[in-house]
Amino acid sequence: MAERRVSRWYFGGLASCGAACCTHPLDLLKVHLQTQQEVKMRMMGMALRVVRTDGFLALYNGLSASLCRQMTYSLTRFAIYETARDRLGQGSQGPPPFYQKVLLGAVGGFTGGFVGTPADMVNVRMQNDVKQPAHLRRNYSHALDGMYRVLREEGLKKLFSGATMASSRGALVTVGQLSCYDQAKQLVLTTGLLSDNIFTHFLASFIAGGCATFLCQPLDVLKTRLMNSQGEYRGVAHCAMETAKLGPLAFYKAASIPLLKRGLWDLTLASTEILPT
């Protein structure tokens, strides 16, 4: 008898933390590239600059905030999406239809994005710190220190700066990442050409990563700029207009990095599905 394999929502949250440890340098480079006013450097040039200026470990600046973000954002969205999906699938003829997966993904991602906004903002700031002149660096010791200092020095409202973008981005990412992953895997298995193995998970993961990157990259750019701003933007619309002045491709700045990152990320998350019960 074949061994039954299932996923648990907390597997996704823990796997997200593990994936963050591996992909954090890519995330840091993405933030640096997205906050450039003009395209002066590409990914490799930026990586060499960071290492030359501040050492190899500078690529892991803000890791504590990234892990804190995953323990809030990812755990919340996985808990909502997977719990509700499994409930809808109980007693029915099969998995829920795609539109229900999209709705669940949007609700779970939006909620997770809002819950994770404070850690996300501190993460962006800590990652961008190494790019700043010494006198402009915020020098947060770790994620909790960063959130405390923002709350004390700038107020509660600033702690949720970029929450609209983070929540909207979270909804789109979760639709692309979880809903599209489930649907892609279901379609691949329906063909009968592949069985439920690691290659199927790998294929579905990269399809989902491409969908998620296409859907949310413009919001990701705006979120990063808003969270890293020092008062230069009056709001989301103003930030979007200022970014648009750099050309339409400015909204897809450094898109190759999140595409690579999400492919690796989704594969890590998919690996939790092949754990035996």
Selected residue with higher pLDDT from 162 and 102? 102
Within-domain flag for 2 = no
Angle at 113 between CA 85 and CA 156, to 5 degrees: 145
Within-domain flag for 254 = yes
Instruction: Tell me what the mean pLDDT of segment 239-256 comes to.
Output: 77
Within-domain flag for 226 = yes
Instruction: Judge whether residue 61 has pLDDT over 70.
Output: yes
Is-contact 85 101, C-beta < 8 A? yes
* Domain hosting residue 143, numbered range: 9-272
Contacts with 126 (C-beta within 8 Å, 6 or more apart), sequence order: 61, 62, 64, 65, 138, 140, 143, 146
Please tell me the predicted confidence (pLDDT) of residue 181.
83
Closest CA to 261 of 222, 212, 215: 212
* Percentage, residues of the chain above pLDDT 70: 84
Please tell me the predicted confidence (pLDDT) of residue 188.
85
Please tell me the predicted confidence (pLDDT) of residue 91.
58
| CATH code, domain carrying 13 | 1.50.40.10
Name the range with the highest mean pLDDT among 150-159, 180-189, 238-247. 150-159
Is-contact 169 113, C-beta < 8 A? yes
Please tell me the predicted confidence (pLDDT) of residue 108.
93
How many CA atoms lie less than 13 Å away from 195 in the CB half-sphere? 3
CA 132 – CA 147 distance, rounded (Å): 19
CA 5 – CA 274 distance, rounded (Å): 6
Please tell me the predicted confidence (pLDDT) of residue 274.
45
Residue range 73-120, pLDDT digits in tens: 988 988 898 888 888 876 556 778 888 889 999 999 999 999 999 998
Residue range 189-215, pLDDT digits in tens: 888 787 877 788 778 877 877 787 777
Give 5's strand partners: 276
Give the pLDDT band (50/70/90) at residue 58: confident
Angle at 81 between CA 79 and CA 85, to 5 degrees: 115
Closest CA to 200 of 190, 215, 212, 211: 190
Residue range 220-235, pLDDT digits in tens: 788 778 777 777 787 7
Please tell me the predicted confidence (pLDDT) of residue 14.
80
Closest CA to 158 of 112, 122, 109: 122
Instruction: Tell me what the mean pLDDT of segment 161-179 comes to.
Output: 85
Within-domain flag for 1 = no
Within-domain flag for 267 = yes
Within-domain flag for 3 = no
Per the structure, how many domains does the chain have?
A: 1
Count other Cβ atoms within 10 Å, centred on residue 69: 27
Within-domain flag for 205 = yes
Give the pLDDT band (50/70/90) at residue 275: very low
